[in-house]
Each structure stands twice: as C-alpha cells, then as structure tokens.
Structure 1
Amino acid sequence: MIIPDLVAVVVHHRSYGTLGATLNTLIAGGVAPDRILVVDNSEEPLRRTEVESLMPAGAHTIYSANAGYGAAVNRGAAWHEKNSHGWRYLLVATHESRPEADCLALLRATLAEDPETAVVGPILVTGDEGKTIWSEGGRFTRVLGLPRHHGHLTPRPGPSAAPPQLVSWLDGALLMFRRGVLTQHPIDETYFLYMEETDHHQTLRHHGWKVKVNAQAFAWQHSNGIPPFYMTRNIQIFHAKHGSRFQAQASAPYLFVRSVARDLIKQHRATTLRPLLAGLRSGRTLAAAARAKEQEGVVIVNPLGGALAHYSHALQQHLGAAGIPACVRALDEPSVSGQHRLMWLLEYVKLLGSEGWYRRGRSVPPRILLTWPVLGFWDLFLVKVLCGNSSWVVYHDPNPLVRSVGSGRAASALMGRMKGRPATLVHSQAAAEAMRVRGFTKGLTVVPHPVLPHSSERPLVEAVHRGPGRRPRVRVLGQYKRDRDLDLLVALASRLGSSYDFEIIGRGWPQVEGWRVDSRFVPEEELDQLVADSTVIVIPYKRFFQSGIAIRALEQAVPVVGRSETSLRDLFGPESPLLVSGNSGSASDVDAWSKAIEFAVEHGRTEASKAAGAFHRQADHEWALLVRPRQRLS
C-alpha cells in the first residue's frame, strides 16, 4: 500500500549491485516510485546509464560531486521541497538499506503520533539472514562521550510490542524525518562521512526535538565500520561542538592508542597508523574551526517535567527566536513519575551537578536556567555551588500559599545576603515587589511569562461554539487553592446561569452552587483542548503572581476575565474591559465581573487575539535582551 505523504532520498555511491534491490524494497514498503529521488555522487559519468537502468519508472535522479553523505541528504531534501507536493515525511536511505515489511508504515506512525519527534529509525539488522543486530539506536560512553550502538552484534529479538523509545542518536542507514526538519537544521557537511548523523541528532535534541527508535520496525543494512582516518578526525569535530573540553582533548588520542594497540595484538603491525595520524591532524584544524563558530547557549533545567513542560517549550522558542541555542533537561516530579520524593530530590541535585560539570568544560559555557526552585530560596546556594553564579533561577511564587521547603524568612534572609548569587527572574511586577520585600533587589529581573504564538485556528473554534443550540461555556480551570473566591463564583452563576454554562475542572475543588464541578487532575494533552473549547476562562483568585492557565488561554486567543490588580494587567493592559477592579464581595464587584464576562462572550476573542500578539512580541524582545550573548571567553 502506497504511503501518500512520504517521499524518499536514496544516497548512492558506486554500489550498482545493491541499488536496484534497495529501490524495489522501498516501493514494496509504500514509497511511490515518482516520490523517490536518487542522489548519485559516484562521480562516474560513464556508468550513469547503469544507474538509469536500475531506476523504476517515474523515479528521479540527480548527479552531484561527492561532498559526502550529509551534502547528498541536504540536496535531496531541498529538491523535494521544491519539486514534490503534498508530503509530510521524508525517508533517507543509503544505497544498500532494505526495510522489512511494515517498517516504513511503523516509522511514519511514530512521527504522526508525536509531533515533538523529528526523526525516527528502525532496528538495523545485518548478516546474511538478518539475524544479528547492528543498531537499536545509539548512546554515548559516560567519560569520553564516544558514540556506541545499543544492542550491537547481539542476536535479533523476537516480535515486540514495545512503544518507540528515545535514543541519543540513530544510524544514518535508514531514517524518517518530519518535513521541515532538514530545511531548518541541515546536516553538517564538514564530516563528509561518518558521525554526521550523530552530530545532527544532537543538534535536533538541543533544539527540543525527540529522536526515537521503533523496536517493531526492522531494516537490513551492511557496514564495514568507520575508517580509521574518519574515526580520529570526526570525533574531534563532534566534541568541539557537543562535548566537554576534556572529551575534546582526550577522545581522539584514546581512539588512536586503542586502534594501534589492537593492530599490534591482532596483526603484529600498525596497519592503520598512517590514516589515524592523518585524521588526528585534519581533525585538529576542523575542530578549531568548529569551536570558532560555537555560540553561547542556555541549558533549561526543569525539575517539574510534567507541570512545566509547556513552559519550557515556550521558553525554548523565545531563546531560539533570539538566536540562542537552548536545550531542556527535564526531570518528572513524583506525581508524574511515581518516584519517592527523596529519590526525586537526589536526581534533581545530580542533574544540576552534571550540567554544572559539563558547562565548566566548555570553551563557551552555556548558562543554566532553573525553571522551578525545588528547595525554595536554598536553591540559590545549590545552583551557585553546582552551576556557577552566572545562572538564573525563576521564582513563580515568592510567597507560596502553602508553606514549603526554603520559603521561610530564615532562608530568604540568608540567601538575600549571599554575595555572587545567581540572578533571579520573576514574571510580574507584583512578584518582583514581593522579592524586594524579602531582600532580593540586586540581580532581580522581571521578564514576561513564556508564551507560544496564538493559534490561527481559533476563529473556527469560536464559530463552532456560537452555533445553533450552543450556550457559551464559562470555565474555571486548574487546581483548587484557598485563595479561590467561592462566594464570587456562586454569585456569578446566580446572575448569569440562565445564559451560560458554568464549569469547573481541576483537582481538589469542592462543590460550588450553580457550577458543574469535575474535580480531577487534568492531563497536559487534555488541558489545551479544554482551553480551546471554552468561550471564557475565569480566574477567580484573590491573589496570584501569575497564571499558567491565563497564558494557555492567551495562546488560544480565548478571553480571560480576572482582577486588574494581578498579573493579568501585564497580559491585557490595565484598561482592558476583560479585567475587573473594585472591592471583592460587594454588589458592584459582582456587577463588574458580570459585565466583563458578557463583554468576553461577545467581543473577547478579538481582545484576546490582539493581546496575544502584543504579549508574544514583548516576550520575544525581553527574553532576547536578557540572554544576549556575552563577550567570548579567552
């Protein structure tokens, strides 16, 4: 069965005996012949008729100078962007890779199911009958950061129902990419041969993409391993871009010594000595050039990988818009992982320590940005010791409603007096004032809450809600806390209940008269839909420094009604008709809330859309100012 939204690039170099079988296997796996492009870099003009004889009817061929695997893939991807239409996924195969039945369909399903996955590969098998594993994806050794295959040369497993797994990198023999990935992040052509896919996948991961292997998909390939010249050459380029200073200095000499020793033991002579030395010399020059291009980046450390996943993603986009490379290192909280809190704390300290150790080894060290202080104000000391004082710590709630570790006066007083502490970030003027009261004035910066650009599909959603038989939905979303104004909610339902449907969805809520209450935890994937199909979101809080729900609503251009004395003023402006000022609990207060909700139902989408665009532009600008590159270290 043809996969209609799939195109393919086959990289061919002087392998005329295998090319035909590879093309036939791709067609049998679902690639339409007219969607196949062979990039031939054999540089053998007299044999081009042989290539043409192997091509299925309708398939395409371009011939180019041999600039390596990466250059061929980049050229093929650009060709399809220009000449092919209606596709979403791009298959890249070498001239002797043969996917087994259903392999391509399984790879496509992996990309379709997870929009955050950039590239997926199958389990690669080798040998005459394909009974030996070549690669189940890749990892890196702990100390030297050398790339290694998972499952290399182990027996092929039986059928598996395991879901796709995250890996550090994939072998380039057979890969499926999401459209646009190779356009936005082309493969580095410096490598010429070997390790360019390893480098490429680290770049994708640093930009927040996932790299996965599908354990149900298999493909056959043959490889003789990496030639000694490219082994010592390319590892230097790779670690200049992605490794620590120690790895950049030690990995190539280690590979050199190991290879020479292996030759002497097995063959009693160093047959690879000359190419290994040539690779060392060439790699030294190319690594220096790679380091000269290196940019200062940011490592976003997120210890609340579930609750703040959206926050981290939006933050990464702001940094990317500023031209700052950023990667996310996340750790799921106990409520998501099921892990004991103590183990989570230990993993958190370990994560900070490993990122701090890594940055100290870089010629241009990235800065650490901690999205949530697990230990309150004590995190300033922890981050300073482990990651250095050029880091940032975000404080979402300087005065938490529920007393937590490190939020007391003693912790804030001691950390406020600490010299050379990391910078602190807040997302509202109210939060900044609360931090100043606690003694944090130096190094305190107010930056907008990270926000994604609002969706262009929201007018369609609005039309559905305002259709015949549909009553506007006024919703409160999020966990219950004691600062929620329950009396106000009861009064609003009594005043407007005949015209609107009132719903509360979130964990821990009591029953509220006039509202349909669904007291449960709302998973991340459901929250966006709940926001999108709301007519109005009400924020009935008496006090708050910021609202993640309000940010999510802004991204969907869904109007939010709340108090003007809160951080909503920063989102919509102090004069917005969506915001309410006055004394809580008074009759005039209920009137003001009712009028704001009525305005939101009739005109709120327009108001929210304007606010969303303005706030996103402001956030891009202010985050860019915060993280602008510093002077390069000498």
Structure 2
Amino acid sequence: MEPATPTGSIDLSEPSTYAAIVLYYRLGEQLEKTVASLLAQTVPPQRVVIVDNDSRDGVVEKVAERWGVDALILPTNGGYGAGMNAGADAIGRRDLPLLFLTHEVVLAKDCVEEMLAVRRRSAAAQVGPVLTRASSGGVWSAGGSLTRSGRPGHRPSPGVEDHSTAAWLDGACVLADPTAFHRTGGFDESYFLYWEDVDMSLRLAEHGPVVVANRARAAQETGTAPPYYAARNALLLWRRRGRRARSVAFSGRQVAAALRESATGRPERAHARLAGLRDGWRGVTGPRPSVSPSTLVTLANPLPEALSHFERELRYVLSHAVGMTLVVDPRLGRSVEGQGATARLLVTTVRLLVDRIWAAARLQGRTIVVLWPAFGYYDILTLLPLAVRNRVILINHDPKPLRRQLGHGLRPRRMFRALSEKGRIDIVCLGQPAARDLLEMTGVHPVVVPHPIRPESIAEPSGGPIRVLGQFKDSRNSEAVVAIGADDFGGRAKEVVGRGWPSFAGWTVRDAFVPEDEFEHLIRTAACVVIPYDHFYQSGVATRCLELGVPIVGPRHENLEELFGKHWPGLVDDQTSWAAAVTRVLSQSSLDELLDRRAAYTEVTIEAWRRVVSGPTGRS
C-alpha cells in the first residue's frame, strides 16, 4: 500500500461523499500511515477529524498540521465509543456517511470506493472491508459472526460475490449510514473498551443490512480483548438485549476458560475474566472499577539513556493497564550514568538522597516506580523516606551481575533484606530467573511480572540478513554463531553488529556501538535475529523483536518461552539445532504465530502490571 505525500490541505474540489473519524491513543508513528492511506483514497474524504483520546504525546497535533486535517483533543479518555461519538459530533453534518477508523489501520487505495459502491447497491446501514494482516497480507476477518453461546468470531475468507452479510463488523474500519447512525444515538459509551462495535452492528441491522465489501481491503494486526472487558461487555450486551439463556451459556464458557487459565499458569487472566463476569451480572459499566483514572504514578529513572526504551515500554503498559497519569521526576532518578570516579559518585549519591528526602516531604499517596537500583542493594536506603507516605516499587533487573558492581556485597544484601521487610517497598523482578537469584542473594521474595512491551508498527516481511545484535560478552554462545555460519540459507546474508565480537566464518562482523535509532532499523530490516546467549535474565533484543514482529532464534530459556511461547519454532534445545531453528522461523507461518503471540503477551503483561501497581502490595 503506497503512502500518500502530504500537501498540507485536502482539495475539496475533488468529488467526495463521506467524512472520516480517526481515533488515536498513544500509538505513535503508525498514525501517520493511517492518515496517509486515507488521504490517498481514489475517493478522498470531504473532511477528516483525528480524535485524540487524552494521549498527551503531541502526535495528533503534528500529524494534523502535516496533513491539513482537523484535530480534536479530548481532556479525558472515555474509551472507543466516546471518542468516535465526539468525532462524529465534530463533523457537524448528518448527511455524510461516516467512516470510522482506528489509528493502526492502513487502507488499500480503492478501499473506500469499494465500500461506498457496495453501500449504494445494497442500501446497507453499515459496510466494512475485508481485514488483512499488515505484515503478511493474509485475511483475518471477512466479517464477524456470533455463536449460539454469544461468543464472537471472524469469517476467515471473503465470499466470491460483491458483498456478504455479517453479524457484526470490527470497529477498526466501518462505514456507517448517517441516518441510521444518528437514529441509534451513536456508539454506546458505557462499554468503555471492546464490544461497542458488536453492539453498534446489531443496532444498525435494525435499519438496514450490515455487510462486508468483499473487494475492499484494509490492513490491521489482529489482537485480543483483555479478559475483563471481553467477559463483562459481552454479558452486558446479551443481558440488555434480553437474551438470558445466551447470557447463562456465555457465562458458563467463561468460567470454563478461567479454570483452564488457572490450570495452565495464567491466574491473572482467570482473575480478570471472573471479575468481568461478576461486574457484567451487576451491570457495572465504564472503566474497570478497581482502576482510578486519576491515579498518579511517578517514574524515577537513574539511567535515562540506557533505560530510555524500557521507560517507554513501562509507560505504555501502565497507561494502558490502569489509565494512570504518568510523571517522570528527574530528581528522584538523578542520573548516575558516567559517574566513574569515587568522588563524583559520592556527590551524586548525596544529592540523590537529599532529593528523595525533600520529595518525601511534598509527595503523598503516590505510587513511585524506580526503574533501576542506582546503588545496588544500598539503593533502598535512599527510598525509605519516600516510602513513609507513598508506595514504592523498585525494579531489580540484575540481582546477580556478571561483573562486580557497587552495592552487591554481603553487607548491603543483608541490609537490603532487613529494610525491605520494614518499609512499604515492593521489589519487582522481570521473570522467574531473576527472582530466584534475588531470593538466593537476599532472602527477599520479589514480585514477579513480565517484561513490559510496547507493540509498534509491524516490520515489513524482510528478505534481509540474519542478524546477531548487541555487545559481545563471555556469556555469548560462539558455537551457535559458528553453527549458523556454516549454513547458506539460500544465499541469505548473515551479520553480527556490536562491540567486541570476534570474526566468524560465514558472517560479516561490524565491531561498533549501535545507537538507538540504528538499533531499531537493524531489527526491522532483519529476516530474523539470533540470540546466542548462555546466561541472561531478560533479553532486551528479544523483547524489541517481539514489539516489532521480527522472529528470533535463541536457547530454550524461561524468558524467551515467556515472550514467544513454549512452542515457538525458534527455540533451540541443543547445540546441533541452531541452523534448523533459523530455517523454521524464516517461514511465513512462524510470522503469523509471532503476531498472535505478541497480542497475547501484551494482554497478559498489561494485566500483571495493573495488579502490581494498583494493588496495595504485590509481595508474596
């Protein structure tokens, strides 16, 4: 799909028969592609309104100015329905069909033309395109279906005829008849997230057909609804429509799903699903009640350069988990990067302690998340004043560092244990391997949560090289690199990029520091990324690959299993299997599996962090 070139304004002299509303919330650069594809349509919109659901990231303002469209910045996030309704109200006219888009959709050039043609021929109240995966082009929805027990599904392939009827249409891209839309009162805002589209289709079907234009195409990566909203909102819908038998049958299936999740080690999902059922029967609407949209979380990052991406990942997860207002306080996380000399380090330590004592006098009732223990196990000393009137969460990435570091000796470990038991400080580890080492080193039981993830626009399927990225360390598995280098893989290039790597037969090695922007480019343009590690807690490279939809090959390690699933074809069980694993992940089927896994991991991660940050304590 070719992106358009911005002109600064829409040419209203061109024939146009619809208005478009694009709903945005903290996705970033992908919005540019959505707007570009919309304005490049063979039949362009008469007016475009981009609705910002209280993102506060400045993206909508920049994109609106660049493309010459309208921006509507909402002061609060009322969910999908509220945002779309606000956009429809901003259009102001009731005679134009309304095209509703979410921020990640990319339209084929003739998508809207096909939808408008089907609308005229079928007198439809609602028309949707065939939805494809942005990465592979494969169809994932040719219209929605509903089972007898009330569960939603997607037809996997379009019909051969011009259009097909559907039970409901995905809210990512729908064209609504203006008369029917306004007669129904617009989207029901009480759902907050998910099932508004099913509800809208069922209500619009009372005014005309709901159809799929089988020749129209729009690309969007499929995802899954968080279990709380999936259970609660479905139950709300069926109860409101008087379908008691369907409500009971749906509830039974959800209880069975929760039992399976508990039995397979996913208690967070089971808990959220059952909470959704409870609230659905109680008639609870809006955001999840345990979530306070006004909750203020303060992030303290003492490594603002090294942990810049981790900070963005955590901000994404927390904002989506609980709708919290996030603040980064540079004083609470005064940078310790580059503090080599003892005197400079001592001065920084004293200043950080003073900053945190002063902050303790002015901050109350907040949740303060410290992204790294700047002084090892001694860091807890500087956090005790803050913990008197606030809840403090300290993330320990590396409880047993490979190299000797400040604050990891026996004395600070003993002090850490004694003080962590007395203060209101929760210690968080990103995975079980780190948690086990922390327990062994200190006797403290940490809270275990998945590494946060920030899903980004999917990398295009690449004919690029097989890559190894990152600095060489003693824990790197050179034998794996040698084994992969011995295979030709159909003439595909193989590259190692990072400081300190030796030469390997079959590989091009570039010994260099890789800055953040180039690092992302190297991942996006790789056919796959190899993780040749022997010992690690979490692989930041593997996490970035999951975010960008790039397959990895690595050892069967708990962290990689958590990220990609135990059955991921790129996991290696022994030294002889590295080349075979590369061959497996280069297939298209592995990419589809990866994108499904990314959606599931994101959902689980958001729920886990929601429970940690919004709960009174996560300490087990």
TM-score, normalization by structure 1? 0.50
In the TM superposition, 1:411-490 aligns within 5 A as 411-418=412-419, 419-421=421-423, 422-442=425-445, 444-455=446-457, 457-458=458-459, 461-462=460-461, 465-466=462-463, 472-490=464-482
What residue identity is the alignment partner of 2:382?
A: L
Tell me which amino acid in the other structure corresponds to 1:447.
V
Equivalence for 1:394: 395
Q: Which amino acid aligns with 2:404?
A: R
Looking at structure 2, the residues matched to 565 and 423 of structure 1 have their Cα atoms a distance apart, in angstroms, of: 26
| CA distance in structure 1 between the aligned counterparts of 2:530 and 2:581, rounded to whole angstroms | 10
Q: In structure 2, what is the Cα distance between the partners aligned to 1:625 and 1:294?
A: 15
Q: Shift in Å at residue 386 of structure 1?
A: 4.7
On the 8 A contact 2:9/2:69 being kept in 1, the answer is no
1:5 touches 1:88 (CA, 8 Å); kept in 2?
no
> CA separation in 2, counterparts of 1:474 and 1:88?
39
CA distance in 1, matches of 2:69, 2:608: 31
Alpha-carbon contact 2:499-2:512 (below 8 Å) kept: yes
Q: Deviations along 1:326-368, whole A, 9 cap, x unmatched?
A: 1123568576x89978657745664564355345434x52221
Q: State the alpha-carbon separation in 1 of the partners of residues 490 and 7 from structure 2.
A: 50
Q: Kindly indicate whether the alpha-carbon contact (under 8 Å) linking 1:454 and 1:609 is maintained by their aligned counterparts in 2.
A: no
When residues 403 and 311 of structure 1 are mapped into structure 2, their CA distance, relative to the original with a 3 A threshold, is same
The residue aligned with 2:596 is 610
- In structure 2, which of residues 590, 598, 613 is the aligned counterpart of residue 627 of structure 1? 613
Q: Structure 2: which 5+ residue stretches go unaligned?
A: 1-5, 14-44, 78-291
Query: Which residue does the alignment assign to 2:154?
Result: none
Corresponding residue for 1:373?
373
CA distance in 2, matches of 1:306, 1:539: 23
Map of 2:524 onto structure 1:
532
Q: Which residue of 2 aligns with 1:256?
A: none
The answer (yes or no) to whether the contact 2:51–2:72 under 8 Å persists in 1 is no
**2 CA distance for matches of 1:480 and 1:412?**
29
Change (3 A) 1:86 1:619: same
- Preserved contact between residue 301 and residue 335 of structure 2 (Cα < 8 Å): no
Give the superposition deviation at 1:510: 2.6
Specify the alignment match of 1:544 in structure 2. 536
Alignment partners' CA distance in 1, 2:441 and 2:488: 42
1:181-236 per-residue CA deviation (whole Å, 9 max, x = no partner) reads: 8524369xxxxxxxxxxxxxxxxxxxxxxxxxxxxxxxxxxxxxxxxxxxxxxxxx
Distance 2:46 2:366 in 1: 39
Following superposition of structure 1 onto structure 2, how do residues 109-148 of structure 1 map, counting pairs within 5 Å? Answer: none
Partner of 2:271: none
Q: Is the 8 A contact 2:466 2:494 kept in 1?
A: yes
| Contact 1:546–1:567 (8 Å) recurs in 2 | yes
One-letter code aligned to 2:433: A
SS of the aligned residue for 2:537 comes to coil
Q: How many angstroms does 1:597 deviate by?
A: 0.7
Q: Percent identity?
A: 27
8 Å contact 1:372–1:396 — kept in the other structure? yes
> CA separation in 1, counterparts of 2:565 and 2:571?
9
Alignment check: 8 A CA contact 1:299 1:367 kept: yes
Q: 1:313 to 1:182 in 2, by over 3 A?
A: farther
Q: Distance in 1 between matches of 2:70 and 2:437?
A: 44
SS of aligned partner of 2:496: strand
Structure with the larger RCO, 1 or 2 (CA within 8 Å, 6+ apart): 2
Structure 1 pair 515–118 and aligned structure 2 pair: CA distance change class (3 A): same
Aligned partner of residue 491 in structure 2, secondary structure: coil
Q: Which amino acid aligns with 1:415?
A: F
Q: Could you say if the C-alpha distance between residues 334 and 436 of structure 1 is closer, same or farther in structure 2, counting changes exceeding 3 Å?
A: closer
Give the secondary-structure state (helix, strand or coil) at the position aligned to 1:567: helix
**SS of 1:391 mapped into structure 2:** strand
Aligned: 1:183 with 2:73:
yes
Q: Structure 2 matches for 1:234-383, cutoff 5 A?
A: 295-321=294-320, 322-330=322-330, 343=344, 346-347=347-348, 350=351, 353-354=354-355, 357-358=358-359, 360-362=361-363, 364-383=364-383
Alignment partners' CA distance in 1, 2:74 and 2:344 = 39
CA distance in 1, matches of 2:440, 2:340: 36
**How far does the alpha carbon of each residue in 1:59-112 deviate from its partner, in whole angstroms, 9 at most, with x for none?**
xxxxxxxxxxxxxxxxxxxxxxxx97358899xxxxxxxxxxxxxxxxxxxxxx
Unaligned runs of 5+ in 1: 8-31, 35-82, 91-113, 121-174, 188-292, 467-471, 583-588
Cα deviation, residue 414, structure 1 = 2.5
CA contact (8 A) 1:119 1:178 kept: no
Distance 2:297 2:68 in 1: 25
Question: Residue type of the partner of 1:85?
Answer: R
Distance 1:445 1:620 in 2: 15
The corresponding residue for 1:595 is: 580
Q: Deviations over 1:388-441 (max 9, x none)?
A: 473111111111111111122332222123232421111111111111111343
Q: Quick one: structure 1 residues 407 and 548, their matched pair in 2 at CA, closer, same or farther if it must change by over 3 Å?
A: same
CA contact (8 A) 2:556 2:572 kept: yes
Alpha-carbon deviation of 1:575? 2.6
Match of 1:567 in 2: 559
TM-aligned CA deviation for residue 513 of structure 1: 3.0
CA contact (8 A) 1:454 1:612 kept: no
CA-to-partner distance for each residue in 1:573-628, whole Å, 9 max, x for gaps?
A: 2232211123xxxxxx22x1111111111143222212211111111100111111
How many aligned residue pairs are there?
356
Shift in Å, 1:500 = 2.7
